[in-house]
Amino acid sequence: MLGSQAIEARQGWLAVLANAPLAGIEDCIARAAPLPAHTRLRGPEIGLIMVQGRAGGDGAPFNLGEMTVTRCTVRNAQGQIGHAYLAGRDPRRAELVAALDAALQHPTESAEWARTVVAPLAEAQKEARRKVAGEAAATRVDFFTLATMRS
């Protein structure tokens, strides 16, 4: 059974990998050691899930609509099992994310995979969020300032 720190770490790298573009993942993998050989246990499969929302954030749930997802499960040569559930239709990316999830669970090699793959992808995502936030801040209007300028 995994401890809470291990679960949080896995949630963290899966969040980064699930939001990373295929080109970014492949680029990081190309600069790292080869991924361990793996066998597909399930998928990659493309399907639909029902997305639910809540009125006001805490009200009664309602069906918002369907969303396309791709899932994949692999077992690598060292015995670790990796899973991937991604938004959209991308079987190649799902298989790579599942293979990376398995590799990141290895007791001795996980730090290297985290450093060479997850960290650069996380930094790129952080920079993209910073850029969007900066662009949004540039369009911000301070209505208090406008009110004092008219006086």
What tens digit of pLDDT does each residue of 4-57 get? 888 898 999 999 999 999 999 999 999 888 889 999 999 899 999 999 988 887
Question: How do the domains of the chain map onto residue ranges?
Answer: 11-138
**What is the rounded distance in angstroms from the CA atom of residue 131 to the CA atom of residue 137?**
10
Q: How confident is the model at residue 147 (pLDDT cuts 50, 70, 90)?
A: low
Grouping H, G, I as helix, E, B as strand and the rest as coil, residue 136 is: helix
* Closest to 32 measured CA to CA, from 127, 107, 96, 126: 96
DSSP assignment, residue 118?
I
What is the CA 59 to chain-centroid distance, rounded? 28
Burial of 117 (0-12, 13-18, 19+ CB in 10 A): buried
What mean pLDDT, rounded, does the chain reach?
89
The reported pLDDT for the residue numbered 2 is 64
* Closest to 80 measured CA to CA, from 104, 45, 96: 104
Grouping H, G, I as helix, E, B as strand and the rest as coil, residue 84 is: strand
Q: What is the mean pLDDT of residues 55-76?
A: 91
The reported pLDDT for the residue numbered 151 is 54
**What is the rounded distance in angstroms from the CA atom of residue 16 to the CA atom of residue 113?**
13
The token pair that represents 146 in the structure block: 């406008």
CB–CB of 132/39 below 8 Å? no
Beta bridge partner(s), residue 48: 68
The reported pLDDT for the residue numbered 127 is 92
